[in-house]
Amino acid sequence: MFKRFKLGTKFTLILSLVFLGGIIASFVILSQVLEKRAEEEVSARGLVLIEAMNSVRTYTSTQINPLLAADLAVSEEFISQTVPAFSAREVFETLRTNEAYQNYLYKEASLNPTNPRNQANAFETMLVNQFRADPELAQLSGFTTLNDQQVFYNARPLVIGSESCLACHTTPETAPASLISTYGSEGGFGWNLHEIIAAQMIYVPADDVFSSARLSLTLVMIIIVVIFALVVAVTNVLLKRSVVRPVEQMAGLAQRVSADTLAPDAQELAVVERLSYRQDELGHTALVFQKMAKEVYAREQKLKREVQRLNIQIDEQKRSQQVQQITETDYFQDLQKKVKQLRDTQVGEEE
């Protein structure tokens, strides 16, 4: 069935098939690459945010806490602003008022929290234990579900890095009285220096990751499809102009030669002659073809003349044969004899 198609159609079909394969392959590869890229981008942004939160924590421990330590010791009410975890959370809530970050979530997920809202869920507990088992592990990231929503997470281990933390997190007895009256003596105690006690979590809705990947993918696919379509169209036009039409023109000349209707001023000959000026393979073919057509024409003309000459010769021969036949007949011989006799008698009479 493929054999029935014209050259142009064949090429278009083959190219389209190749391009279709190319487009599908690009789609599969690109969608994976772009998704990975989007993940990396979101992950990098999450890590920057965790770093920023750590800076806020350090700032609170080293600058705010010493300023308010004296007040905290005697205060009836606990001063939450002295707590690194509190300031980090507050700063992040402020950040969330920015539309670009409103769907982000920050949490210091702890196995034994001071504030119950920081209680690690099953998934976070698993991450904390993973960090505890491998102190070399600096971060974890991936997809999970949070409140029935698909999210991308970044996690970092949170370590008791300085002695100052222990003032509030060792035992309820050593902690400020106001802390106990506000938070109770249940959680957030018994921590040791350099112990991993929580995971800093950043959550981003997966839709944010995928939509950015989808946007890039759509854009790239549109560009690829447009380029492929252009290549097919241009190839088709070029093929028609530089191959299909010249071949048709040469076929036209061949048709004339075979039908013996070629004249030296035939239009087909002029067209192929123009074609023969081309430097490519078809130009050479046209040159050979045109020469051949001319030679065939010349030879045919010669042959015709020869046939004519032979015809004439045959005619002459026939005539002399006929004359001979006539002269050889008895009647003619007799007639000749009679003519001779007649001539002789006439000569005698004249004498």
Under the rule (CB under 6 A), what is the footprint of ligand HEC? 61, 65, 82-86, 108, 110, 113-115, 118, 158, 160-162, 164-165, 167-169, 179, 183, 188, 197-198
Q: Which is nearer to ligand HEC, 49 or 158 (CB)?
A: 158
User: What's the N-to-C CA distance of the chain in angstroms?
Assistant: 105
Q: Least distance in Å: CB of 154 to ligand HEC?
A: 16
Q: Which residues contact 154 (CB under 8 A, 6 or more apart)?
A: 43, 46, 47, 50, 139, 140, 141, 201, 202, 204
Q: Least distance in Å: CB of 52 to ligand HEC?
A: 16
Q: Which is nearer to ligand HEC, 12 or 178 (CB)?
A: 178
Give the distance from CA 208 to its chain's centroid.
Answer: 24
Q: Which is nearer to ligand HEC, 30 or 160 (CB)?
A: 160
- ∠ CA 321-324-325 to the nearest 5 degrees? 85
By CB atoms closer than 10 A (0-12, 13-18, 19+), residue 203 is: buried
Q: Least distance in Å: CB of 121 to ligand HEC?
A: 13
Q: Least distance in Å: CB of 80 to ligand HEC?
A: 6
The whole-angstrom separation of Cα 219 and Cα 228 is: 14
The structure tokens listed for 305 are 């003349």
Q: Least distance in Å: CB of 48 to ligand HEC?
A: 20
Q: Which residue is nearest to ligand HEC (CB)?
A: 165
Q: Least distance in Å: CB of 50 to ligand HEC?
A: 13
Q: Least distance in Å: CB of 135 to ligand HEC?
A: 16
The whole-angstrom separation of Cα 84 and Cα 188 is: 13
Give the distance from CA 158 to its chain's centroid.
Answer: 44
- ∠ CA 290-295-297 to the nearest 5 degrees? 95
Q: Least distance in Å: CB of 162 to ligand HEC?
A: 5
Q: Which is nearer to ligand HEC, 131 or 183 (CB)?
A: 183
Q: Which is nearer to ligand HEC, 87 or 249 (CB)?
A: 87
Closest CA to 175 of 108, 62, 78, 87: 78
Closest CA to 240 of 10, 8, 9: 8
CA distances (Å), origin 31, targets 37, 153, 210, 220: 10, 21, 10, 10
Q: Which is nearer to ligand HEC, 173 or 260 (CB)?
A: 173
Q: Which residues contact 264 (CB under 8 A, 6 or more apart)?
A: 294, 297
The whole-angstrom separation of Cα 121 and Cα 127 is: 10
CB neighbourhood size of 286 (10 A): 24
Q: Which is nearer to ligand HEC, 114 or 154 (CB)?
A: 114
Q: Which is nearer to ligand HEC, 30 or 68 (CB)?
A: 68
CB neighbourhood size of 120 (10 A): 21
Q: Least distance in Å: CB of 96 to ligand HEC?
A: 16
Q: Least distance in Å: CB of 133 to ligand HEC?
A: 19
